[in-house]
């Protein structure tokens, strides 16, 4: 209720003057709802053929001129108002269902018109994608508002006498003093199977020039995360096809694995390769581009199309040229699309590229909304911004359909500083991180995964038995090599055993080098790991290891296809099978050395 700083004035628009008893009834209603001091005036309006329209305005108490008058509420009892109410009721009742005709008939039969009450506000200020609105005292957080020129906005700041609203459309047409209405709808995006293979903006509108998308429903952008009872432990591996990750930092369905590193260290390449590796595995992939260059996003889409990955993928793009409100809601829109498939028992992989730019967009909006800045000028709820997004990733229980949503958030660091505000926040939310190091990247070690700083908190639970056995002591061997690497400059003075250990470790590092967009199948990874860890490649010059790997895999495909078949069918690496792999690998080694 408005305090004594304001007074109310009401105006009744109709073609004929109301009878005294009708006038008194309306005045009694207004006094009970607003204020005992409210005044009611009749205004003749020939455009209102039947019924009436009642407008309630609010004026500053000390304003005798009435110049501060603002529209507060409209009660529409005209024919047009009642028809609009019928349309809205039909849309609301029938929208979630396919067969709407019987429901429409039933709704029309039982429909009773009521005075159409609309809470109307006034734009006080507008600029930089933000509008300040007064008069909408019952508006709720994240409710969609509709401005008089058709522009949509979302409530993001609630104050006592005004609200802050972010604008999704072109805000240049919104002016001070224009009206705005509540819709009663929480912000959301259209969802459905029709989005597969398409590129859309943060509002779900197609931007790939392939025509409209048929939607199956409406998903809220900010849905609550599944509860503990509705979840299941991570138990199924989600293979990236990247040897260094699948062997040492495995990712499981429902996990949240952070990809972190400086600019231009291959973060997006790892995410794209993971999407490419899901081909034929019945996994829906969603790539959310936040604040990226339009050319970079177009290049990523072309790669997905080239390798046949777009047929099971969706790209949500809020590029650097889009306003901050669209960059802010983009990851939530992508998550809503993922939840549509997850809740239907499907497995979904979603990539957020990247959350650093998402945080910057939210910081811009918060400062424009005059929120108090905190560390690095971010608002106090910046941690909640990402936690409520990433907590929606989960492996659902069998009772909930068994679907999963796996998240690969990407964060960009400055000069390798993982202790900055946003990186530390997201590290504490996720189930592990893959840290990409600039020095490794520029030395040719790609993917440039830092073995010491990377970790998966799910571990062996997200690995098959065969992979777990094949990995063996790989990580320990690499850690020992990194400790000894400092002595490589004194290689001429080292004993033979130390030189052999250094050569072995260097060979393992070259083994983990992998061209982008060439993911490895699991049986190929197991063959390479077993061969390398049994010192088959130790005497191969490091520059020829890449060529040796390719030849070795071709040799196994031609000479020992039973090995890959057994690994794929059973998922178990028996001792006999392991011995077979070593035997065939040494056979190929002898042929390669003779060639």
Rounded Cα distance, 364 and 361, in Å: 5
The answer to the question of residue 136 being in a domain is no
The answer to the question of residue 421 being in a domain is yes
Query: Is it the case that residue 72 has pLDDT exceeding 80?
Result: no
The answer to the question of residue 36 being in a domain is no
Give the pLDDT confidence of 243-266 residue by residue, as tens digits.
999 999 999 999 999 999 999 999
Same domain, 356 and 288: yes
Query: Is it the case that residue 97 has pLDDT exceeding 50?
Result: no
Angle at 93 between CA 90 and CA 97, to 5 degrees: 115
Structural domain count of the chain? 2
| Last residue of one domain, picked from the residues 409, 441, 462 | 462
Same domain, 480 and 369: no
Residues in the chain: 595
Percent of the chain with pLDDT over 70: 90
Sheet with 199-200: list strands edge to edge.
199-200, 313-318, 283-290, 347-353, 404-412, 258-261, 432-436, 455-456
Same domain, 515 and 401: no
Task: Tell which residue, 345, 346, 356, 357, has the closest CA to residue 320.
Answer: 357
The answer to the question of residue 395 being in a domain is yes
What pLDDT score was predicted for residue 525?
95
Return the beta strands (E) in 103-210 as ranges: 116-127, 130-134, 143-147, 152-158, 162-167, 179-186, 188-191, 199-200
Annotated catalytic residues are 457
Same domain, 518 and 405: no
In this structure, the number of other CB atoms found within 10 A of the CB of residue 172 comes to 11
The CATH number linked to 585 is: 1.20.150.20
The answer to the question of residue 541 being in a domain is yes
Query: Is it the case that residue 331 has pLDDT exceeding 80?
Result: yes
Rounded Cα distance, 5 and 24, in Å: 26
What pLDDT score was predicted for residue 175?
87
The answer to pTM > 0.75 is: yes
Same domain, 509 and 444: no
Same domain, 510 and 579: yes
Rounded Cα distance, 165 and 131, in Å: 5
Give the pLDDT confidence of 185-214 residue by residue, as tens digits.
888 999 999 999 999 999 999 999 899 999
Same domain, 373 and 270: yes
Same domain, 433 and 570: no
The answer to the question of residue 509 being in a domain is yes
| Last residue of one domain, picked from the residues 445, 462, 479 | 462
Same domain, 475 and 567: yes
Say how far residue 26 (Cα) sits from the centre of its chain: 50
| Last residue of one domain, picked from the residues 431, 462, 493 | 462
The answer to the question of residue 135 being in a domain is no
Query: Is it the case that residue 1 has pLDDT exceeding 80?
Result: no
Same domain, 450 and 395: yes
Give the pLDDT confidence of 107-126 residue by residue, as tens digits.
555 545 555 566 888 999 99
The CATH number linked to 253 is: 3.40.50.300
Question: Which CA distances in Å does 61 have to 3, 58, 121, 390, 429?
Answer: 10, 9, 18, 48, 51
pLDDT band with cut points at 50, 70 and 90 for residue 458: confident
Q: What's 127's DSSP letter?
A: E
Domain with 262 in it = 190-209+226-462
The answer to the question of residue 27 being in a domain is no
Q: Are strands 152-158 and 404-412 parallel, antiparallel or unpaired?
A: unpaired
Q: What are phi and psi of 455, to 5 degrees?
A: -160, 150
Please name every residue paired with 33 in a beta bridge, in sequence order, or none if there are none: none
Same domain, 392 and 410: yes
Same domain, 523 and 452: no
User: What's the average model confidence in pLDDT over 309-329?
Assistant: 95
Q: Are strands 455-456 and 432-436 parallel, antiparallel or unpaired?
A: antiparallel
In this structure, the number of other CB atoms found within 10 A of the CB of residue 546 comes to 14
Q: In terms of C-beta density within 10 A (0-12 exposed, 13-18 middle, 19 or more buried), how is residue 100 classed?
A: middle
Task: Tell which residue, 41, 77, 45, 42, has the closest CA to residue 59.
Answer: 41
Match 């240049």 to its residue by tokens: 172
């Amino acid at each position: 209720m408005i305090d004594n700083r304001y007074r109310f004035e009401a105006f009744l628009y109709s073609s004929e003057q109301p009878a005294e008893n009708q006038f008194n009834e309306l005045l009694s209603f207004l006094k009970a709802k607003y204020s005992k001091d409210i005044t009611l005036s009749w205004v003749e309006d020939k455009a209102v053929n039947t019924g009436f329209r009642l407008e309630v305005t609010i004026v500053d108490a000390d304003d005798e001129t009435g110049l501060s008058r603002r529209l507060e509420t409209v009660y529409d009892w005209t024919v047009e108002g009642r028809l609009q109410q019928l349309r809205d009721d039909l849309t609301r009742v029938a929208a979630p269902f396919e067969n709407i005709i019987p429901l429409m008939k039933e709704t029309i039969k039982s429909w009773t018109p009521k005075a159409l009450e609309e809470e109307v506000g006034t734009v006080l200020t507008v600029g930089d994608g933000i509008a300040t609105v007064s008069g909408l005292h019952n508006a709720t957080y994240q409710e969609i508002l509709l401005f008089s020129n058709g522009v949509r906005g979302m409530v993001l700041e609630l104050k006592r006498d005004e609200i802050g609203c972010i604008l999704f459309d072109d805000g240049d047409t919104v002016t001070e003093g224009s009206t705005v209405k509540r819709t009663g709808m929480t912000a959301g995006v259209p969802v459905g199977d029709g989005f597969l293979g398409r590129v859309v903006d943060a509002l779900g509108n197609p931007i790939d020039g392939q025509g409209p998308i048929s939607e199956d429903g409406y998903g809220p952008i900010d849905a609550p995360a599944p509860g503990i009872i509705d979840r299941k432990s991570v138990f199924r591996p989600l293979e990236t096809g990247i040897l260094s990750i699948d062997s040492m930092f495995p990712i499981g369905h429902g996990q949240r694995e952070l990809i972190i590193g400086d600019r231009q260290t291959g973060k997006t390449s790892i995410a794209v390769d993971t999407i490419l590796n899901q081909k034929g595995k019945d996994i829906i992939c969603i790539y959310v581009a936040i604040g990226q260059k339009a050319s970079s996003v177009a290049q990523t889409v072309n790669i997905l199309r080239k390798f046949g990955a777009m047929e099971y993928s969706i790209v949500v793009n809020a590029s650097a040229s889009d306003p901050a409100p669209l960059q802010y809601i983009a990851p939530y829109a992508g998550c809503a699309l993922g939840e549509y498939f997850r809740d239907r028992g499907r497995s979904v992989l979603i990539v957020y590229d990247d959350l650093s730019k998402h945080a910057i967009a939210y910081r811009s909006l918060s400062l424009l909304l005059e929120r108090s800045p905190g560390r690095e000028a971010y608002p106090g709820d910046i941690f909640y911004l990402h936690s409520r997004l990433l907590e929606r990733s989960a492996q659902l229980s069998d009772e909930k359909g068994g679907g999963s949503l796996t998240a690969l958030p990407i964060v960009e660091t400055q000069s390798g500083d993982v202790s900055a505000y946003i990186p530390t926040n997201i590290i504490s939310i996720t189930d592990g991180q893959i840290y990409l190091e600039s020095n490794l990247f520029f030395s040719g070690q790609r993917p440039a995964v830092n073995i010491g700083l990377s970790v998966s908190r799910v571990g062996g639970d997200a690995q098959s038995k065969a992979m777990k056995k094949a990995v063996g002591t790989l990580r320990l061997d690499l850690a020992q090599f990194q400790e000894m690497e400092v002595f490589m400059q004194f290689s001429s003075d080292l004993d033979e055993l130390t030189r052999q250990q250094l050569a072995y470790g260097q060979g393992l590092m070259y083994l983990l080098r992998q061209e982008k967009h060439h993911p490895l199948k699991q049986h190929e990874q197991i063959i390479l790991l077993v061969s390398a860890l049994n010192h088959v490649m130790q005497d191969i010059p490091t520059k020829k290891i890449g060529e040796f790997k390719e030849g070795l895999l071709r040799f196994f495909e031609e000479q020992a296809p039973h090995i890959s078949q057994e690994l794929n069918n059973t998922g178990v690496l028996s001792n006999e099978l392991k011995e077979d792999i070593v035997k065939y690998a040494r056979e190929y080694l002898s042929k390669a050395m003779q060639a």
